[in-house]
Amino acid sequence: MKICGTTSVGDALLAVAAGADAIGVVLASPSPRSVTPDLAREIFAAVPPFVTTVAVTSTDRAEDLAAIFFSRPDAVQVAGDLAVPRDAGVRVIRMLSPGDPLRDDCDAVIVDGSHGTGQAFDPEYARRCVASSPVPVILAGGLAPRNVDDAIRAVRPYAVDVCSGVEAAPGVKDERLVRAFVKICRTMDP
């Protein structure tokens, strides 16, 4: 599972200590969680090597990619048709919203119509994606400790992603919620 919208080294290390598989940092986005490439690089440098770092962006401008790659992520999560060069040395996760066609020009897709705003995911669309996708499907949108177990049972995604559902305030993670979310996800593993 990915803890997304991380805005500090402390919150990244909290998520790692709780057992997160991935840390997401928002860049080149109007989100209140968006950080500078320098801060993203600092956060990613603090994350141990067996935890995946993901640069999350809503930009559609290819010229923003250089700053995103400067942060040295393991993967980039992009919206729309933003072309990520094959030689960039990162895995690509494409965001899908309800109604979007499935993609195979990436390493995984993330089903999230809310784009970090906490709106609940569309269960029918998410199930169709999981059933038909040629790449792994990550589920996001409105997830929190109170509902992630039901979401996993209903959709059976490859992984889940949480942002606002584990926050005390936008961009500030709540340790109790992060630990609860990770614990529930771990108990759902087959």
DSSP annotation string for 153-189: HHH--SEEEESGGGEEETTEE-HHHHHHHHHHHHHH-
- pLDDT number for residue 189: 62
176 HSE (CA, 13 A, CB side): 2
Q: Is the pLDDT of residue 190 over 50?
A: no
| Domain count across the chain | 1
Average pLDDT value for residue range 50-79 = 94
**Span 48-65, mean pLDDT?**
94
The secondary element (H helix, E strand) that includes residue 104 is: none
Question: What pLDDT score does 80 carry?
Answer: 81
Would you put residue 72 in left (φ > 0), alpha (ψ -120 to 50) or beta? left
Cα-based distances in Å from 32 to 25, 29, 63: 12, 8, 21
Instruction: Please write the tens of the pLDDT for every residue from 132-149.
Output: 999 999 999 999 999 999
Q: How many CB atoms lie within 10 A of CB 157?
A: 24
- pTM for this entry: 0.94
**Where in the sequence is the domain holding 24, given as residue range(s)?**
2-188
- Residue whose pair of structure tokens reads 């067996």 in the numeric block: 50
CB 43 within 8 A of CB 72: no
Give SS3 for 11: helix
Asked whether residue 68 carries a pLDDT value surpassing 60, the answer given is yes
pLDDT confidence of 113, banded at 50, 70, 90? confident
Amino acid symbol at 46? A
For residue 114, the model assigns a pLDDT of: 72
Say which residue, 62 or 176, is predicted with more confidence: 176
Report the CATH number at residue 61.
3.20.20.70
What average pLDDT score do residues 14-29 get? 96
